[in-house]
Amino acid sequence: MKKLGFGLMRLPVHFKLPTLISLGMVKKMTDYFIDNGFVYFDTAYMYHLSKSESTVRTALVDRYKREDFILADKLPVMAPFIRNKEQQETIFNKQLAKCGVEYFDYYLIHSLTAKSHKLAKELDSFSFVQQKKAEGKIKHVGFSFHDNAEVLDTILSEHPEVEFVQLQINYLDWDSPRVQSRRCYEVAVKHGKPVIVMEPVKGGTLANLPAEAEKLLKDYNPNASIASWAIRFAASLDNVMVVLSGMSNFEQIQDNISFMRNFEPLNEKERAIIEKVVSIINGAITVPCTTCGYCIEGCPKKIPIPQFFTIYNKAMQTPNKQTTYRASYKKLAKKYCSATECIECGKCESSCPQHITIIKYLKDVSKHFE
């Protein structure tokens, strides 16, 4: 299998209506992906406000033979989706129906952390997925993971039956003490589990670098896109089976395929350049948000947290454009809710896979823009 997977969390959307997926474009991207010999598609129950799975059906499942693609889906072991054991069966059957398939090639318990692992134990989720595998409705069982290496080691020790893990790996988080990409990868290797990589471009962060870092990459290879360095970094790891890229437009899929069709791992010189890039970025990013949107679901005030952090990061990087970013902030605050209106309930922080201190940063956002 080629090492690039189509992540279906950031699909193309209508430019005026961000909740409306551009189905025609998804079909076009799907065709291009498959025509170039790529087969791995990754969806989840809550992606795109629960519309990703039905989009997969229309764009992929209804138009291709089942053996022509590999489909991965995930069990949302988290509130508000699953609160008791029985709901797992209901959701799983709903997922099969929404995707229009009789089995999933890869099925993951979604976003395990120390906390959600506790819930997965209470719900007996690991037995549930094994039972579905025995019924022939899942081919391979794994989990996606968002905690530290120690927790990963504990889970893999308790569940040797798991066949693979999905980890957040990118060059910025590789040695980060918070995400611990390197250490988690090493734990997976120790347990003999192949790795699927998520967030190789860190939610787009590694496609839009500070000018100084971009210059380093362009000086070395003017033809390579900035994002290509990030995807190739993750794909260069021996134990990585596939790297998921959340492609949002046709240009991105064309670019990704151009260097993943005949993939070449990073050489020593390229690795050294990336190390320099990491130091530059670390000095420039204020909030390490990947814009995954997991925090929005449970927020009682519906604060547009990732959008606020994106604007705030940009404002911190370009001091001469404060009027533009303040206007963007005000527009969003008017449409949804301002950062000041946060009631500090903490629901967002418990669902953030990046463990960001959201409440504190919202105060900074509010102070800066208001």
CB of 264 to ligand SF4, least distance (A): 31
CB of 356 to ligand SF4, least distance (A): 5
Measured from the CB atom, the residue of 192 and 300 that comes closer to ligand SF4 is: 300
Q: Contact, 369 vs 313, CB < 8 A?
A: no
Measured from the CB atom, the residue of 182 and 355 that comes closer to ligand SF4 is: 355
Residues 6+ apart with CB under 8 A from 187: 149, 152, 153, 156
CB count within 10 Å of CB 364 equals 17
CB of 292 to ligand SF4, least distance (A): 4
CB of 72 to ligand SF4, least distance (A): 20
CB of 296 to ligand SF4, least distance (A): 7
Measured from the CB atom, the residue of 2 and 110 that comes closer to ligand SF4 is: 110
Q: Coil, helix or strand for 86? A: helix
Q: Contact, 21 vs 11, CB < 8 A?
A: yes
Burial 20-45 (b: 16+ CB within 10 A, else e): ebbeebbeebbeebbebebbbbbbbb
Measured from the CB atom, the residue of 29 and 358 that comes closer to ligand SF4 is: 358
CB of 351 to ligand SF4, least distance (A): 6
Measured from the CB atom, the residue of 192 and 346 that comes closer to ligand SF4 is: 346
Binding site for ligand SF4 (CB under 6 A): 289-295, 298-301, 303, 305-306, 309, 342-348, 352, 354, 356, 358-359, 362
Q: Contact, 190 vs 221, CB < 8 A?
A: no
CB count within 10 Å of CB 199 equals 31
Measured from the CB atom, the residue of 162 and 293 that comes closer to ligand SF4 is: 293
CB of 260 to ligand SF4, least distance (A): 25
CB count within 10 Å of CB 72 equals 26
Measured from the CB atom, the residue of 138 and 348 that comes closer to ligand SF4 is: 348
Burial 99-134 (b: 16+ CB within 10 A, else e): bbbebbbbbbbbbbbeebbebbeebebbebbbebbe
Q: How many helices (H) and strands (E) does the chain have?
A: 16, 8
Q: Is the peptide bond before 353 cis (omega within 30 degrees of 0)?
A: no
Q: How many residues does the chain have?
A: 370
Measured from the CB atom, the residue of 11 and 162 that comes closer to ligand SF4 is: 11
Report the distance separating Cα 235 and Cα 224, nearest Å. Answer: 16
CB of 350 to ligand SF4, least distance (A): 9
